[in-house]
Amino acid sequence: MSRHTDNWTFNYGIDGEQETFDADQTLFDFPTALSSGGLQLDEAAKVGRYPGYEVTGVAVFAQAEWQTTDWLQLSAGVRQQRYYLDIDDFVAANEQVRQALGLSSGADAIPGGKNHYDTTLFNLGAIATLSPGHQLWANLSQGYELPDPGKYYGNGTYAYNGTYRELVDSVNVDEQPLKAIKTNQAELGWRLYRSRFDTQLAAYYSWSDESLSYDRSNLSVQVNDEKKRNYGLEGQLNVRLSEQWQVGTSGHWTRAELRTDGDWEKQAVTQASSSKLAGYAGWHNDLSSLRLQGTRTMDLDDAAGNELDGYTTFDLIGQQRLPVGQHL
């Protein structure tokens, strides 16, 4: 819902979401696949990969904007967010594979259960218009993330009791409930719009008291009590050479770090994002358009010495307006 007065705009309401997840994996007949050089894949069994779950999210929110003067606009908002998680009992994926291969007669299930999360999020913002088409802005905001429950739960330690596999220890709802992650972010930016060009530049800094990591051995996600931060600069420039031709460039430099033993270190390359530099040239008229753009993704490394090599991609995008609709 929205209401507007002379200098105030109010938006408020309720929103909801629901996600249901199930995941299987297929085992293929290995001798057949080996003898055919991997060209013939016959299904031998189908087993569970991650525990099934259902997440329901409900939130109420309110946002206000106040045009204090001709040149200054202030905004503030609040959001009350709740999540309800219901996760199924699940025999660990490796144990299901073991049973399918005839290496065990069965295994205990890791108990599922229910959990709920709630938090209150705030945001503040300001836009200062220095002159027509020339602005500064600043924002403070909060976000809330529930990591993938399927990749967190469903992992356990088992031991043989005869041919049966008994559960010794596990990650489950009662003993190790999944934590949600709240992130805070500050942003400061500048933008300028003129008839022949527009440009903007923004700096941001986000931080949280928890971080995510992945266990490569079982592809599970872990929530760690480690402080993390991300910061960077984003900028772009678009130039209108004529009514038909336009060129531009954009860049994003970013850094992701974790607090380890009192020092900030680069976050793992599997979690961090690479810096990017892009450029484009485009032509258009009333019926057609053509755009060539290139993006350079920079090299990335982390504190453990892992590296990702950078790469460059090019895209050619065309559009033609037809008598009915458009053809891309």
Q: Which helix (H) or strand (E) holds 306?
A: none
Q: What pLDDT is attached to residue 312?
A: 98
Average pLDDT, the chain: 92
Q: What pLDDT is attached to residue 205?
A: 98
Residue 43 CA to residue 60 CA, distance in Å, equals 47
User: Kindly report the CA angle at 209 between 204 and 211, in degrees rounded to 5?
Assistant: 85
209: left (phi over 0), alpha (psi -120 to 50) or beta: alpha
- Asked whether the beta carbons of 320 and 288 are under 8 A apart, the reply is yes
Share of the chain above pLDDT 90, in %: 74
Q: What is the pLDDT of residues 215-230, one digit of tens each?
A: 655 556 677 778 999 9
Q: Are strands 228-240 and 326-327 parallel, antiparallel or unpaired?
A: unpaired
Residue type, 208: S
- Bridge partners of 164, per DSSP, are 106, 161
Q: What is the pLDDT of residues 246-274, one digit of tens each?
A: 999 999 999 999 998 889 999 988 888 99
Q: Model pTM?
A: 0.83
DSSP conformational letter for 150 = G
The average pLDDT across 177-201 equals: 95
The tokens of 237 are what?
């420039």
- For the chain, how many helices (H) and strands (E)? 2, 22
CA dihedral 259, 299, 222, 205 (to 10 degrees): 50
Q: What pLDDT is attached to residue 220?
A: 65
Confidence category of residue 323, pLDDT binned at 50, 70, 90: confident
Q: What are phi and psi of 40, to 5 degrees?
A: -115, 120
Q: Are strands 228-240 and 197-208 parallel, antiparallel or unpaired?
A: antiparallel
Closest C-alpha among 176, 149, 134, 130 to residue 84: 149
Place of tokens 């002159």: 131
